[in-house]
Amino acid sequence: AQSVSQHNHHVILSEAASLELGCNYSYGGTVNLFWYVQYPGQHLQLLLKYFSGDPLVKGIKGFEAEFIKSKFSFNLRKPSVQWSDTAEYFCAVNAGAGGYNKLIFGAGTRLAVHP
């Protein structure tokens, strides 16, 4: 069965620090990859997605992620975090080619950024 692993459950950073959140998935075929963010009290929002093409994906708010097929990874990065980035981040995989396949979510990473 497909699965998504997020290795960091809680991350605490100071403003301006760099961020990298790990995400690994288990599926050998074609995948679509997503990072969602959930700010406190708000609904899930899409940060970025990878379907095909350039494995380095740019998202909103300065986030980016790199798809490394050989490592089954899709890590999220931001060079300099802000207090407003405090939120929970979810990696998700939509496995299989074509069709509206279901999303498998990772457990989430709770990021706290201190001023």
Partner 1 sequence: GAVVSQHPSRVICKSGTSVKIECRSLDFQATTMFWYRQFPKQSLMLMATSNEGSKATYEQGVEKDKFLINHASLTLSTLTVTSAHPEDSSFYICSAIDPGGDTYNEQFFGPGTRLTVL
CB 3 within 8 A of CB 72: no
Binding mask 35-54 for partner 1 (x = CB under 8 A): -x-----xxxxx--x-x---
Provide, rounded to whole angstroms, the least separation between the CB of residue 44 and partner 1. Answer: 4
| Four-point Cα dihedral 78, 17, 26, 39, nearest 10 | -70
d(CA 57, CA 66): 6
> Could you tell me if 74 and 25 are in contact, meaning their C-beta atoms sit under 8 angstroms apart?
yes
Number of alpha carbons in the 13 Å side-chain half-sphere of residue 52: 5
In angstroms, what is the minimal distance from the CB of 80 to partner 1?
A: 27
Could you give the string, one character per residue 19-38, with x where binding to partner 1 holds by CB under 8 A and - elsewhere?
-------------x-x-x--
Decide whether 46 or 56 has the Cβ nearer to partner 1.
46
Tell which one of 24, 94, 111, 113 touches partner 1 (CB under 8 A).
Answer: 94
d(CA 29, CA 38): 28
Q: What residue ranges bind partner 1 (CB under 8 A)?
A: 32, 34, 36, 42-46, 49, 51, 90, 94, 100-108, 110
